[in-house]
Structure 1
C-alpha cells in the first residue's frame, strides 16, 4: 500500500469487483453447458428422461447443501483461498466431464461441480464487506450478481456454437479452461485485506474504512456459531424473502422457453431471441439499481434500513408483473411484462446481496451469505417442480404465473415487516459498530 494521503484515490476495489463479476459469469456458463449438450449426452449414453432429470438436478444436491460450510470456510480461511479454490475446482470438474463414461460418472461430476460453485456467492459477499464501504455495497452486489444474467444469456449461443464446431466432450473442456485462466489472474491480483494490496493507496484505504465503521478494527475476531445467527429475525427475513425471489427467478432459466413455445406459439428461433431479453435487460437494471440505492443512501436522505427496503419493494412490485404476463393478449406484451418482472427480481437482488455485509457480525459475512443462499436455492429447486405440477394439473401456465406473483406479494410483506433495522447483529461481548461517515455528519451538524 502506498502511504501518501495526498495522492488521488486508487480504484483497485473496482478491479476486484470485475473479478467477482467474472467469477459469477463463468459460474453460470459452466452450470449451463449441460443443458445445451443434454441431447448429445442422452443419445450417446442411452439415458432415459428420468435418468437425465437426475443428471440435471445433481448439481443442486451439493450446491445447496454446501453453501453454509463454504461460507464458514471463507470467513475462517479467507475469501482469496476459498473463492480461488472453488473456481479452480468447479472448472476442473467441468473440463473433466468430457471424460464421463456413463450415467454414474456424469452424476458424480455434476455433484463435484455443485460442490465447487457453492463457494462463489458466500465468498463474494465476504469480499464486498472487506473491500467496499457501505455506500458502495449495493453497487458491487449488483455488479457481481449481474454476471449470472450475462452468463445465462450468452451461455446458450456460445455453447451451441462450440457444439457445432466440436463434440460435447471438447465443449466441456473449453468452457472449463475459462475458470482456470481466471484462477491464475486471481492469485496475482487479489488480497483478502485492502491494506495488504500493493496498489491500494492511503486515500482508497481511508475511503473503504470510513464507510465500514469499526469492522476493520478486529479482523481476527472469532465468528459466532451459525446456530446463534438463526435466532435473529433479520436472518429469517433475508432467507424467506430470497427463497421467494429465487422461486420466481428460476422460472426464467427453466420453464420460460417451454412457456414461449407452447403457451405463446413462438418458433424455436423466436423463442431463443425472446427468452434472452429478460436476462439481458436485467443486467443493466441490476447494476443501475445498486448504483442508485447507494446514491440515495450516500445523500443522507434515507437511512440504510429505509434505502434497502425501498429498493426491495420497488423491485418486487416490478417482479409481480409475472402474474400480469399470464393474461397478456400478445406474445410481445407477455415478454415485455416478463422482462419487467425479471428486471424487478434483479433490483431486489442488488439489495439482497448487500444485506449480508450490512447485518453480519465481524468475520461472519460469508457465513450469513451461505445461510441465505442455502434457503434461496431450495426455492430454486422446488420452483420448477411446483410450476410443472401446476401446469400438468391445469393444462395452463396461467395459474402457475399467478401463484408466482402471489409469492412476490408475500415477499414484499416479509421485507416490510419481518426485516427489522438493517445493522450488524451484535452479541453481548461485541462492541457497537458505527458508521463513521454518519457520525461525522452528525458532529458537523451539532457544531
Structure 2
C-alpha cells in the first residue's frame, strides 16, 4: 500500500511530499532543511531512494540535491534545466520505477516555468495521485509571470494547456498534490481547500471550466506583486545548494546590539507583536516568527545585509534561522535571547496597539494619519477614506512619504502593521499599530 505524507512549510505556503510503500520512498520538492524529511522517513522506517523536482523553484532554496547526496538517492531534474550539478535527467513520458508497487510517470506541464514537470504516481496499475508542483493547484494554477514580462503571456497559455493535459491523462479519483497554493506567492490566487482530486478540479477550477482566452485574461489581470527575494532563488537552485548550517549564530551582547542599531543594521525582534509592543529595544524592528517571517525578511531586508535576531529563547532563534535558510539567508550576524532587559541598558520603547473601533473613535474627535500597508490590490478593493497606501514591501524606500503627525498603521490582520509600525517608530515618530481584522472596519463605520 502506498502512503503519501505532506511536509508542510506554512510560513512559505508550500508543501513537500514523501510517498512510500513501507520500504522505500520518493520525495517531491523538498525544502532546504531536509532533516525534517529524514526524521519523517526514519519514523516511517523507509529509505529514500528517489528525489524529484517539479521545477526550478522561485520561492525557496531546494533541499533536493543535499537530500540525494545524504541518502544516495537518485535525483531527478528536468533534462532541459541548465543545472551546474549532476542529476538524473528526466523528460516527458519517462517512467521512474520507485519500487515494484510504485511508479512515477513524468508529464511536461510548462506554465509556471518553461521546464515544469508533474509526476503521476501509480500503484497496482491505478493512478493514485499527481504531484503538480506549480501547475494545477487547488482552484487555481501557479503564476506565469515569475520569469519576467517577456514570457508571461506565453507561459499563461502553456499553463492552460498543461492543466487540461493533466485533467485528460490522469484519473479523476487521483489526488492533486501541488507544492504551492497554501499562501505561497507562487500561486496566481488562493483557495481554502486542503485537498482535491483531478475530478474535483475538473468541475470547479476555472482553468478547466473556462475558455482559454477569457481565463488567460482573468489570470493576468489578477496577478499581484511577489517578494523581491524571488530573484535570488532560481540562480541558487540552478547552482546546486548544499545542506544548511543550522548551528547557533554568534551571540551578541548589549554593546554589540547597540553598535549594530547605531550603524543602521537590521536588528529584528522575533517575538509576537503584543510582546514587542509591551517593551522592546529602541531601534529594533518587529518581524515575529509567528507570521510570514521569512517572506517579509526576504522582501524588506536588502539581500546580503547584516541581520541580527533577538528571541525569547534559543528555540525561537533556531526557528528563525531555519526559516531563513529556506530562502538562502545562510548567515546571521548575531543573535541574543532572553528579554529586552537583557539586550539593552536603555529605557525600553513601547508601541501602542489599538483596534479599528479605537481608530473610528479617534477620528470622530481629531485628525490622525492613517497608513494602510496592504498591497495595492487589497487597497483598491476597499479602504478607509483618506488613508495613505504604502505597501509593506515599499516602506523602506518610501519612509519620507509617511504622513506627518501621529500615524495609525493598519493592514488586514495586524502582522504587517506591526512590522511597519516598528520601522516608522524607529525614526522617532508617534505611531499606533492597529491589531485587528480589516473586516471590522465595516462594523465600526470606517468603510
Higher Cα Rg, which structure: 2
- The structure with the greater share of residues assigned to strand is 2
Asked if these proteins are the same fold (TM beyond 0.5), I'd say no
Shorter-chain TM-score category?
Answer: under 0.3
Q: State TM-score, norm by structure 2.
A: 0.26
More RCO (CA 8 Å, sep 6+): 1
Q: State TM-score, norm by structure 1.
A: 0.26
